[in-house]
Amino acid sequence: MNPAPNLVLVGPMGAGKSSIGKRLAGRFGLAFVDADREIEARTGASVATIFECEGEAGFRAREAAALEALLQREGLVVATGGGAVLDPGSRERMRARGFVVHLQVSLARQLERLARDRSRPLLAGDDREQVLRRLSELRAPLYAEVADLCFDTDALFPPQAAAQLARLLDAQWTRAARPDLQEHPA
């Protein structure tokens, strides 16, 4: 059991990190932070613009710095970007300062959930399936490396996923990390 001061959600695009994270934050009375939105607020530019101007390496440096600052705080639910696990230092900080939940989703469900999304720079090409498959091959071992808990969101809508995950977290994280929290109905 990891009695960390923050809950960190990792996983691929379309796994539900933001939508589930917002619900978990409300459920546990914690602050919700979407790491990509935090980066945008710090830079005054969209993720797409950062990728365009600085490339992926520039974005990843900003992402690592934002996660470092966020994880110094306590009482957060942090929805990371899908590639946040690529940086070894970020992985170390997540493990040290967060109870890390790997939200899993199938390739087919990712394609369905991301079908209308045109805001993600890594999906700007024509073959989204190939891109998502390649990203999964690279990142899945890293998600597994940092995860305290794996949770499959594939067949669940965000409210259902958040309720089920909250019950698991009650048993595996909240009691150890935040003994002051009262038990709330899911």
State yes or no: 178 annotated in a binding site: no
Question: Does 16 carry a binding-site annotation?
Answer: yes
The answer to whether 36 is annotated as binding is yes
139 is in an annotated binding site: yes
| 3-state SS assignment for residue 34 | strand
State yes or no: 25 annotated in a binding site.
no
Cα distances (Å, whole numbers) of residue 102 to 12, 48, 58, 99, 145 = 9, 24, 25, 10, 10
Is residue 106 a known part of a binding site?
no
- The reply, when asked if residue 127 is annotated as ligand binding, is no
Token code pair at residue 181: 């929290």
Whether 19 has a binding-site annotation, put simply, is yes
Q: Is 60 known to sit in a ligand binding site? A: yes
Please give the single-letter amino acid code of residue 33: V
17 has binding-site annotation: yes
- Which residues does 46 contact at the CB level (< 8 Å), separation at least 6? 40, 119
Q: What angle do CA 25, 102, 118 make, to 5 degrees?
A: 80
Instruction: Mark the binding-site residues, compressed into ranges.
Output: 14-19, 36, 60, 82, 120, 139
Instruction: Mark the binding-site residues for Mg(2+), compressed into ranges.
Output: 18
Instruction: Mark the binding-site residues for substrate, compressed into ranges.
Output: 36, 60, 82, 139
Instruction: Mark the binding-site residues for ATP, compressed into ranges.
Output: 14-19, 120
